[in-house]
């Protein structure tokens, strides 16, 4: 269970107006599934998956709200045939423009070969990607840490330095370039995703979307969340720098992000997990992706979401649109320029963490997989190897984000929304 801090912290790195969010939608509790539609078409990303409707999911034990916690799982008992392994994909019935989405996860699908879980928001009312996509939690196979990405129509990019702890892995959000890689941030902390997140008792994620940009925070791995994060009026300006932040004048954010729905999905193999399955030494040893997923149901007993709380907050009239800009500006200050009185333990830790993250990513991009001794391949080393492989694949033009391949993947993924 993620701990909630009992102190908000009197001093913040950021000075600005008090954020004024009010709770507008609480998905939590016994009515969770009444607030979502169940997607049952063929998987747009060609996954080996059979998305089922609500009655079927209920009867098969793939969903429940026992103890007011929403469980969203997959069939981990039967050999899969036909379209693939039974699973659930949800889209919120309501849509929103601007706001703060906060999720308290007790568990997410584990880092298991063949899996491709995602928690994200998607623009409606226009052909993708006109109204944008925000991937809050996403990964494949035995991926060790979270990947956060935006996908947009042309003329949207992250410019300058990030206001978050991480620096952009890729900056152009336009789906028509770089094989639709999007503008992404790659976490380096394994507590942010999958198996390690689960071992640590879960995590809380918060995504803020304003006219000035988009930010994502997360708390887990023993790092307590702010006391107000799931309260009636959370204040992101008091939370310190986010993990990831997309801001700057390279994008008119209100032109590229509109009317989003919240989505959970859990697919298998397909155009990403399946494509890189054979390049992963652990996964490739299991044979073909679809054969493995079909014939080893017990290996997917940990492929489920456990949602303790999910809430949407929106502006109640105060100035919150400038929060992202203020954080971005604050992130440019050198440590010596921050008054000592403001250098709380949290502020110093944030500065140190940011620099450590930059150094680690810079080093990781230089590591060739064959140069990492097996006995040294800890979680961090594996992350470095994965990044090096991704960089090489990107340069070769044949990785998961290969230009022609990924453009076609995304076209198929959202064809049903046209």
Whole-number Å distance between alpha carbons of 39 and 31: 18
SS3 290: helix
Residue length, the chain? 418
Q: Is 208 a known active-site residue?
A: no
**Element spanning 292, H or E:** helix 289-295
Whole-number Å distance between alpha carbons of 354 and 371: 26
- For each of the chain's 418 residues, which pLDDT tens digit applies? 676 653 333 223 233 334 489 999 999 999 999 999 999 999 989 999 999 999 999 999 999 999 999 999 999 999 999 999 999 999 999 999 999 999 999 999 999 999 999 999 999 999 999 999 999 999 999 999 999 999 999 999 988 656 788 988 999 999 999 888 899 999 999 999 999 999 999 999 999 999 999 999 999 999 999 999 999 999 999 999 999 999 999 999 999 999 999 999 999 999 999 999 999 999 999 999 999 999 999 999 999 999 999 999 998 654 444 444 444 444 444 433 333 333 333 333 433 443 444 333 333 333 233 333 333 333 344 444 444 444 444 444 433 334 344 444 444 444 444 4
CA dihedral 244, 250, 256, 257 (to 10 degrees): 30
Q: Residue 366 has what DSSP assignment?
A: T
What integer pLDDT is reported at residue 280 of this predicted model?
A: 96
Whole-number Å distance between alpha carbons of 197 and 193: 5
What integer pLDDT is reported at residue 180 of this predicted model?
A: 83
Whole-number Å distance between alpha carbons of 401 and 398: 7
C-alpha distances in angstroms, 202 versus 61, 64, 353, 382, 402? 22, 18, 21, 22, 33
Tokens of 218: 């997360």
Q: Residue 270 has what DSSP assignment?
A: I
What integer pLDDT is reported at residue 162 of this predicted model?
A: 66
Q: Is 138 a known active-site residue?
A: yes
Among residues 295, 265, 267, the alpha carbon closest in space to that of 81 is found at 295
Q: Residue 157 has what DSSP assignment?
A: B
What integer pLDDT is reported at residue 160 of this predicted model?
A: 63
What integer pLDDT is reported at residue 161 of this predicted model?
A: 59
Q: What is the largest CA-CA distance in the chain?
A: 64
Q: What share of the chain is helix, strand, coil (3-state, %, to 5)?
A: 30, 25, 45
SS3 260: strand
């Amino acid at each position: 269970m993620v701990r909630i801090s009992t102190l908000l912290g009197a001093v913040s790195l950021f000075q600005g107006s008090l954020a004024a969010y009010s709770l507008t939608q609480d998905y939590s509790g016994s009515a969770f599934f009444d607030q979502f539609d169940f997607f049952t078409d063929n998987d747009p990303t060609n996954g080996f998956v059979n998305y089922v409707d609500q009655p079927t999911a209920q009867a098969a034990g793939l969903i429940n709200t026992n103890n007011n916690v929403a469980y969203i799982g997959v069939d981990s008992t039967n050999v899969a045939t036909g379209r693939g392994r039974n699973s659930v994909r949800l889209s919120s019935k309501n849509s929103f423009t601007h706001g703060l989405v906060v999720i308290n996860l007790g568990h997410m699908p584990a880092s298991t070969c063949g899996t491709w879980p995602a928690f994200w928001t998607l623009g409606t009312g226009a052909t993708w990607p006109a109204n944008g996509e925000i991937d809050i939690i996403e990964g494949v196979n035995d991926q060790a840490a979270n990947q956060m990405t935006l996908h947009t129509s042309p003329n949207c990019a992250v410019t300058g330095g990030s206001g978050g702890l991480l620096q952009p892995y890729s900056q152009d959000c336009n789906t028509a370039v770089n094989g639709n890689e999007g503008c992404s941030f790659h976490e380096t902390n394994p507590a942010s995703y999958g198996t390690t997140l689960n071992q640590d008792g879960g995590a809380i994620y918060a995504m803020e979307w304003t006219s000035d940009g988009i930010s994502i925070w997360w708390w887990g791995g023993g790092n307590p969340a702010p006391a107000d994060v799931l309260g009636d009026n959370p204040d992101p300006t008091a939370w310190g720098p986010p993990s990831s932040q997309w801001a700057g004048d390279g994008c008119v954010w209100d032109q590229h992000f509109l009317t989003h729905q919240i989505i959970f999905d859990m697919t298998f193999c397909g155009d990403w997990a399946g494509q890189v399955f054979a390049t992963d030494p652990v996964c490739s040893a299991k044979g073909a992706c679809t054969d493995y997923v079909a014939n080893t149901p017990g290996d997917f007993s940990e492929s489920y979401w456990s949602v303790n709380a999910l809430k949407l907050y929106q502006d109640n009239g105060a100035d919150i649109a400038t929060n992202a800009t203020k954080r971005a500006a604050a992130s440019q200050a050198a440590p010596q320029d921050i008054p000592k009185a403001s250098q709380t333990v949290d502020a110093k830790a944030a500065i140190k963490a940011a620099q450590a993250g930059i150094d680690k990513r810079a080093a990781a991009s230089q590591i060739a997989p064959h140069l990492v001794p097996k006995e040294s391949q800890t979680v961090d080393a594996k992350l470095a190897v994965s990044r090096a492989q991704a960089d090489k694949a990107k340069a070769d033009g044949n990785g998961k984000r290969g230009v022609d391949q990924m453009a076609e993947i995304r076209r198929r993924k959202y064809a049903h929304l046209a």
